[in-house]
Amino acid sequence: MNILIVATNRYGSPVPVMPVGACLVADAAEKAGHRVRVLDLMFEQNPLDALKSELDKSNPDFVGLSVRNIDNNDMQNPVAFFKDLKPLVDTIRSKTPEPVVLGGAAVSVMPEELLRYTGADWAVLGDGEVIFPKLLAALSQGEIPGKIPGIAWLEDGVFKKNTGYVTRFSDGCLTPNFHRWINVRAYLSRLSTIPIQTKLGCHFKCIYCTYRKIEGHDYRLCAPESIIDAIKNLAAIGLRDIEFVDNVFNSPYDHALAICEGLARSRPGARLQSLELNPLFIDDTLLTAMEQAGFVGIGITVESASDAVLNGLQKGFTAKDVYNAAQVIQRHHLPCLWIFMFGGPGETEATVRETLRFAEQCIHPKDVAFFNTGIRIYPGTELEHRAREEGILAIPTSEMLEPVFYVSPAIDLDWLTETMHNALAAHMNYINSNTIGLSFLPAMNRLGYRLGVKSPLWRHTRLIRRGLRVFGMDV
Ligand code: B12
Ligand code: SF4
């Protein structure tokens, strides 16, 4: 069959992210014997015109839409990306009667709502490179796709899904042939990194999290040797800025350590990053291995340094673990981005002050702290139940594609905004979503690339903020 896969994401902040999922799915469909084309809308001036002309060219029997983001998860400057989908589906429908299937992280998070909103025929939940070829085979043989694990659809207006187990990483196929499908240079020239996953699944139970909906609760680990080989191959073709996009990179600890030690031994010459470290599994052994492996930046997602909030979020670690992790990080030379989230259950003025005190005392000025405010509420999460109980959320799930946020009723948003404004003014290494949501961030990424700046750009936060302030900007 002729297959067209459309990578719909056009968001350029903090960097445009390469559509790794769409490319993996394209690779898999081609391997299954189909003629596949990918249309990446990221840099298209006019996405609907680009889609129309691609549909004319490829005359597809089947169109897959890769949907990454529902919205930008930002309470201060919300942008709803899901609204771009309807005109895309309408354009496809105007040109062809063939089936339209949705896939991508956003679809795993809110499949029913996205199927209803777009009117697409099928949704693939999770691992598209395994499920999509099976769906194509079923449809081409007139079989019922609903028997395939990982498929969702609407039947007489009723949402149905098959949530059977899917195996992944079985063929060691970790990285797609990016050059075959997308304009890699366009991404690299905007400081994008090459994404790679080392595992799926998460054992933690944070109350707001959607990741287990996407990847499942059980770990599905990729063999460390396969990961090391994949990184060597990427580096050998010049794709050296590589980012681990696991939900948590350092859990299970032994798996992460084996990968880092293997990379330290084989030295592929890659510049590695991960923004998803959990403070529970940070120690000198792992950080030493990461330094030797070629890491150039790490991010640690602690959300808070207050036990009341960490408990409320059910993070599975304590403020003591956060302080311990900070001590270990200070003993090493890896630039670190600390990620916090204000407004969770249990947040008060006192807990915000506790977290800010931690940041002042324990985050080195050359490292960076990112403070988010408000937590996006997703259907089916513990946070949704809590928000409904507390009267914060009253709309039905069908309306939750529009971003809705939780902020602890015990916190005054004006006070928090003022407090953060003052904290950012006093610390040039602090950023919040207003700073990274800057409309000119994409231009800054391009300028950075031309000036020879290497990813991650956040390492230069102090310099950038100072520079922009000289030009009179309130950042
Ligand atoms: C790593 C990550 C990042 C990194 C990306 C780094 C990089 N170089 O790529 C950073 C930190 C930059 C980032 C930023 C953002 N992210 Co992010 N990110 C992730 C994370 C953890 C992994 C994404 C990933 O690469 N997965 C690996 C690939 C292989 O999987 P995949 O793309 O999902 O593809 C698979 C399936 O979805 C499916 N599939 C994909 N396409 C298609 C197409 C078809 C036709 C089919 C059938 C199947 C299919 O098959 C693929 C292979 O198995 C996810 C959470 C998660 N666990 O998925 C959030 C996630 C994708 N991010 C999210 C968001 C919101 C954002 C941001 C808007 C802001 C934010 N607050 O984080 C920005 C947007 C950036 C941008 N420019 O678009 C949301 C998106 C959904 C939503 N809730 O709206 C997620 C799901 C997290 C969440 N909060 O729920 N992110
Ligand atoms: S540790 Fe991360 S991925 Fe796991 S449940 Fe918590 S927020 Fe989600």
CATH of the domain at 140: 3.40.50.280
233 alpha carbon – ligand 2 mean position (Å): 30
Of 50-54, 141-145, 185-189, 196-200, the least confident = 141-145
Predicted confidence band of residue 469 (pLDDT cuts 50, 70, 90): confident
Provide the domain limits for residue 81. 2-162
Residue 315 and residue 341: Cα distance in Å, rounded?
12
In a domain, 203, yes or no: yes
Is the residue at 73 inside a domain? Answer: yes
pLDDT surpasses 70 at 173 = no
Choosing from 24, 61, 69, 193 the residue with most ligand 1 atoms within 8 A of its CB, the one to mutate for a pocket test is 69
User: Could you tell me the pLDDT band of residue 472, with boundaries at 50, 70 and 90?
Assistant: confident
359 lines ligand 1 (CB under 6 A): no
Residues 199, 58 within the same domain: no
Residue 475 has pLDDT above 90, yes or no: no
Joined tokens for residue 227: 């990961």
Interval between CA 202 and ligand 2 midpoint (Å): 6
- Pocket residue to mutate for ligand 2, from 202, 246, 280, 310, most atoms within 8 A of Cβ: 202
pLDDT at 386: 97
Structural domain ending residue among the three candidates 117, 145, 162 = 162
| Residue 172: per-residue pLDDT | 57
Retrieve residue 409's tokens: 């009723």
152 shares its domain with 197:
no
Q: In this predicted model, what pLDDT tens digit does every residue of 379-388 receive, in sequence order?
A: 999 999 999 9
Q: Confirm or reject: Cβ of 206 under 6 Å from ligand 1.
A: no
Distance from residue 73's CA to the centre of ligand 2 (Å): 16
Q: Are 411 and 394 in contact (CB under 8 A)?
A: no
Burial 430-469 (b: 16+ CB within 10 A, else e): bbbbbbbbbeebbebbeebbeeebebbbbbbbbebbeebe
Residues with CB under 6 A from ligand 2: 202, 204-206, 209, 211-212, 247-248, 278
**Average pLDDT value for the chain:** 94
Average pLDDT over residues 146-164: 92
Identify the three-state secondary structure at position 64.
strand
Distance 105 CA to ligand 1 centre (A): 5
Per-residue confidence (pLDDT) for residue 444, from 0 to 100: 83
Q: Which atom of ligand 2 is nearest to the CA of 202?
A: 4
Is residue 392 in some structural domain?
Answer: no
In percent, the amount of the chain with pLDDT more than 70 equals 97
**Residue 270 sits in the same domain as residue 154:** no
Q: Please report the pLDDT score of residue 302 as a whole number.
A: 98
User: Both 232 and 131 in a single domain?
Assistant: no
CA angle 351, 354, 355 (to 5 degrees): 95
Task: For ligand 1, say whether the CB of 28 is within 6 Å of any of its atoms.
Answer: no
pLDDT higher than 80, residue 225: yes
- 199, 209, 219, 281, best to mutate for ligand 2 pocket (most atoms within 8 Å of CB): 209
Contact between 114 and 107 (Cβ < 8 Å): yes
Q: How far is the CA of 67 from the centre of ligand 1 (A)?
A: 9
Nearest bound ligand to CA 16? Answer: 1
Residue 396 lies in a domain: no
Contacts of 267 (CB under 8 A, 6+ apart): 294
Determine whether the shortest distance from the Cβ of 121 to ligand 1 is under 6 A: no
- How confident is the model over 348-356, as a mean pLDDT? 98
Cβ of residue 16 lying under 6 Å from some atom of ligand 1: yes
Number of domains present in the structure of the chain: 2
- φ, ψ of residue 218 to 5 degrees: the values are -80, 140
Q: What CATH number is associated with residue 347? A: 3.80.30.20
Looking from the CA of residue 210, the nearest atom of ligand 2 is: 8
Q: Please check whether residue 325 lies inside any domain of the structure.
A: yes
339 shares a domain with 197: yes
Range with the largest mean pLDDT of 173-177, 227-231, 449-453: 227-231
Give per-residue burial for 156-192: e unless 16+ CB within 10 Å, then b.
Answer: eeeeebeeeebebbeeebbbbebeebbebeebbebbb
Which ligand is in closest contact with the Cα of 209? 2
Within a domain: 379: no
Nearest atom (ligand 2) to Cα of 278: 1
Of all residues in the chain, the percent with pLDDT exceeding 90 is 86
State whether 421 and 319 are in the same domain: yes
How many whole angstroms separate alpha carbon 167 and alpha carbon 170? 7
Same domain, 343 and 450: yes
**Quick check: 338 and 300 in contact, CB under 8 A?**
yes
> Ligand 1, closest atom to CA 211?
57
- Nearest CA, atom 1, ligand 2: 204
Calpha distance 91→118 (Å, rounded)? 11
Q: Pull the structure tokens for residue 177.
A: 């042939």
pLDDT at 402: 97
**442 C-alpha to center of ligand 1: Å?**
19
Predicted confidence band at 24 (pLDDT cuts at 50, 70, 90)? very high
* 413 or 165, greater pLDDT: 413
Instruction: Specify the higher pLDDT residue, 435 or 132.
Output: 132
Verify whether ligand 1 is closer than 6 Å to residue 211 (CB atom).
yes
Are residue 212 and residue 302 in the same domain, yes or no?
Answer: yes
**Has residue 170 got a pLDDT over 60?**
no
**Confidence tier at 106 by pLDDT (50, 70, 90):** very high
Same-domain status, 20 and 82? yes
Q: Tell whether the model's pLDDT for residue 232 goes beyond 90.
A: yes
Q: What is the pLDDT of residue 182?
A: 98
Is any atom of ligand 1 closer than 6 Å to the C-beta of 24? yes
My answer on whether 203 and 104 are in the same domain is no
Does 214 sit in the ligand 1 pocket, CB within 6 Å? yes
Q: Which atom of ligand 1 is nearest to the CA of 72?
A: 68
Name the least confident of 121-135, 362-376, 458-472: 458-472
Q: Is 68 part of any domain?
A: yes
What is the distance in angstroms between the CA of the first residue and the CA of the last residue of the chain?
Answer: 51
Considering the domain architecture, whether residues 224 and 111 belong to the same structural domain is answered as no
- Pair (70, 209) in one structural domain: no
Q: What is the torsional sign of CA 321, 323, 327, 329?
A: positive
Going from the Cα of 297 to the center of ligand 2, the distance in angstroms, rounded, reads 20
Domain boundary among 143, 162, 181: 162
The residue whose CB lies within 8 Å of the most ligand 2 atoms, and thus the one to mutate among 210, 247, 253, 383, is 247
Give the helix/strand (H/E) hosting 241. strand 241-244
**Predicted confidence (pLDDT) at residue 171 exceeds the cutoff of 80:** no
Q: Which two tokens stand for residue 64?
A: 């897959």
Q: Identify the weakest region by mean pLDDT among 31-45, 210-224, 316-330, 384-398.
A: 210-224
Residue 182 lies in a domain: no
CA distances (Å), origin 303, targets 315, 349, 364, 372: 9, 15, 17, 9
Alpha carbon dihedral 132, 7, 183, 223, in 10-degree steps, equals: -40
Distance CA 197, CA 200 (A): 8
Query: CA distances (Å), 172 to each of 150, 165, 221, in order?
Result: 20, 18, 11
